[in-house]
Amino acid sequence: MAMEKEEQTIAKESKPWADEKGMVLEPPKTAPTPSWFTPKRLLFIFCVINLINYLDRGAIASNGVNGSERTCNKSGSCTPGTGIQGQFNLSNFEDGVISSAFMVGLLVASPIFATLAKSVNPFRLIGVGLSVWTIGVIGSAASWNFWSITIARMLVGVGEASFISLAAPFIDDNAPAAQKTAWLGIFYMCIPTGYAIGYIYGGLVGDHFNWRYAFWGEAILMFPFVVLGFIMKPLQLKGFAPAESKKALTQVETAASEDTEVEIGNGGAASTKEDFGDKLYKPAKVKGAIKTSNQFVRFMKDMKVLMLDKVYVTNVLGYVAYNFVIGAYSYWGPKAGKNIYNMSNADMIFGGITVVCGILGTITGGFVLDFMTNTIPNAFKLLSVTTFIGAAFCFGAFCFKSMYLFLAFFAIGEFLVFATQGPVNFVCLHCVNPSLRPLSMAMCTVATHLFGDVPSSPLVGVLQDHIHNWRETALILTSILFPAAGIWFIGVFLNSVDRFNEEREHEVNRTPLLESKTAERKESSAQS
């Protein structure tokens, strides 16, 4: 008898989903195992998508697509405007608003997608977002006035919000432990690279064809990834239960549901007929209201955690000041260079500098932090030092009258400034619990755009309209990088904890892509 029980125990241990008699039962629902994705393929696909996203931003900022306003000299002869600005007869302020309109959609949608990730598979949310993005760029191509292109740009921002919030956590989950910052650096390298290619792409298409064709081309490039987002087996993030699992419901939602059921059951004032009728529609109605209410409650609780995290807040504040400058550089850079140094091919020159320095700087920053050992204090050290030295070179560059000295100093400055991309996002992902990473990335995006490059583009336009001197405008703008370096320097002295491996209630362990094949082999051997 004892031998029989022992055999049943061994059978149950070797087959974790077996009953007391050793019969194999249906395993519990877990996240679908990806059949095609590997970590490197995932990284490659996300990099291409990110590249296309930022190609769009570079294209609309290029002189070929953005164009120039109508100008008149003292004698009364006028030169017609070109591109979007010329066709819609926009002032510099209105032109800057088009750039910021994109950010409005991004800011509104980012926290929504981050919150939905707890109840809807994040990978599918990316597919939905890319669909909206494609509709937005098609709308940009078909726009007929200032307001139509503004609304279209908002849709582009809504579409990109899902990808920005969720792509980095996927990469962080599946990157080798000793190369996490390097992988993030490779991913964020696509930001300057995309901008640079966008300058060149927009300049060539706008000059040789029409600015509208640039947006049609972007839609064609993104469409295969829209399809991929819906047909591939969905992946799951660390710290989240599968969307189809009952564990995906939070404790707050379960408790609230029970309370509501008690209230309905004890509402004895209603008649029997009314109670019977209510059963037909009240449960679904109440359940939907509870789900919406509890998602908001969860969102507010998670926001409180983020706002009380000094490391997170310090990192984001430094990134806000940094992004204020970089956003204005990316939008006004070609136009400023053309006016200060009479660059005949400002799009090509700025695009070339940005793509080379962006790639080298971003990758170097990631590898350097991994070499130093990727910790939060080391990330802050790298952020403060590279930003301060890079700011000094960029500021000095605009002081030179020689275009060649400007290009040399500005290239070094951009190389150092772009080295921040890996470390700053590493801090965002690792100073919070795994289940908070999508919201952490979303709110970082909201803050850096809302207080950074959303106001910077129109404000720089207003400043230039007031002083009419692009050199002075560029120097004033560049000086804001110094406070960014100072804020990040404060982060070095904060008490920081890497929370990547911390678990929260109702979380489930997911198998990263790096370990998926090993897990499958173990499961097969256990069942055989």
Please give the model's pTM, rounded to 2 decimal places. 0.68
Q: Same structural domain for residues 222 and 314?
A: no
Task: Give domain status of residue 74, yes or no.
Answer: no
**In terms of pLDDT, which residue wins out, 519 or 498?**
498
The structure tokens listed for 434 are 């795994």
Q: What pLDDT sits at residue 482?
A: 95
Q: Same structural domain for residues 47 and 160?
A: yes
43 pLDDT tier (thresholds 50, 70, 90): confident
Q: Is 197 exposed, middle or buried (0-12, 13-18, 19+ CB in 10 A)?
A: buried
- Last residue of one domain, picked from the residues 222, 237, 252: 237
Task: Give domain status of residue 435, yes or no.
Answer: yes
Domain extent at residue 421: 304-502
Q: Same structural domain for residues 322 and 420?
A: yes
Please, which contacts does 477-481 make with residues 24 or more away whose CB atoms are closer than 8 Å? 477/325, 477/328, 477/329, 478/325, 478/391, 478/394, 478/395, 478/398, 479/391, 479/395, 480/321, 480/324, 480/325, 481/321, 481/322, 481/325, 481/387, 481/388, 481/390, 481/391, 481/394, 481/395, 481/417
**In terms of pLDDT, which residue wins out, 445 or 315?**
315
Q: Same structural domain for residues 318 and 440?
A: yes
Separation CA 258–CA 263 (nearest Å): 9
488 pLDDT tier (thresholds 50, 70, 90): very high
- Last residue of one domain, picked from the residues 237, 269, 291: 237
Q: Same structural domain for residues 310 and 162?
A: no
**pLDDT of 280 over the 50 cut:** no
Q: Please give the distance of CA 318 from its chain centroid, rounded to a whole number.
A: 17
Q: Same structural domain for residues 347 and 486?
A: yes
Across residues 128-138, what is the average pLDDT?
91
Q: Same structural domain for residues 227 and 370?
A: no
**pLDDT of 389 over the 70 cut:** yes
**pLDDT of 61 over the 80 cut:** no
**pLDDT of 100 over the 60 cut:** yes
Task: Give domain status of residue 296, yes or no.
Answer: no
**In terms of pLDDT, which residue wins out, 207 or 27?**
207
Q: Is 441 exposed, middle or buried (0-12, 13-18, 19+ CB in 10 A)?
A: buried
Task: Give domain status of residue 24, yes or no.
Answer: no
Tell me the Ramachandran region of residue 89: left when phi exceeds 0, alpha when psi lies from -120 to 50, beta otherwise.
Answer: left
Separation CA 134–CA 113 (nearest Å): 17
- Last residue of one domain, picked from the residues 182, 204, 237: 237
Q: What pLDDT sits at residue 169?
A: 82
**In terms of pLDDT, which residue wins out, 266 or 316?**
316
**pLDDT of 244 over the 70 cut:** no
Please name the residue that has the structure tokens 């800057």. 96
Q: What pLDDT sits at residue 385?
A: 95
CATH number of the domain within which 187 lies = 1.20.1250.20
**pLDDT of 139 over the 60 cut:** yes
Q: Same structural domain for residues 154 and 63?
A: yes
pLDDT > 90: percent of the chain? 17
Task: Give domain status of residue 404, yes or no.
Answer: yes
Q: Same structural domain for residues 231 and 344?
A: no
Q: Same structural domain for residues 126 and 221?
A: yes
Q: Same structural domain for residues 394 and 497?
A: yes
Separation CA 136–CA 497 (nearest Å): 40
Question: Residue 163 in contact with residue 53, Cβ under 8 Å?
Answer: yes
Separation CA 65–CA 101 (nearest Å): 16
Task: Give domain status of residue 14, yes or no.
Answer: no
Task: Give domain status of residue 29, yes or no.
Answer: no
Annotate 326-353 with DSSP letters as a single string. HHHHHHHHHHHHHHHH--TTHHHHHHHH
DSSP 177: G
Q: Same structural domain for residues 325 and 469?
A: yes
Task: Give domain status of residue 46, yes or no.
Answer: yes
**In terms of pLDDT, which residue wins out, 46 or 284?**
46
Q: CA quadruple 203, 205, 209, 215: dihedral positive or negative? A: negative
Q: How many domains does the chain have?
A: 2
**Ramachandran angles phi, psi of 308, nearest 5°:** -90, -5
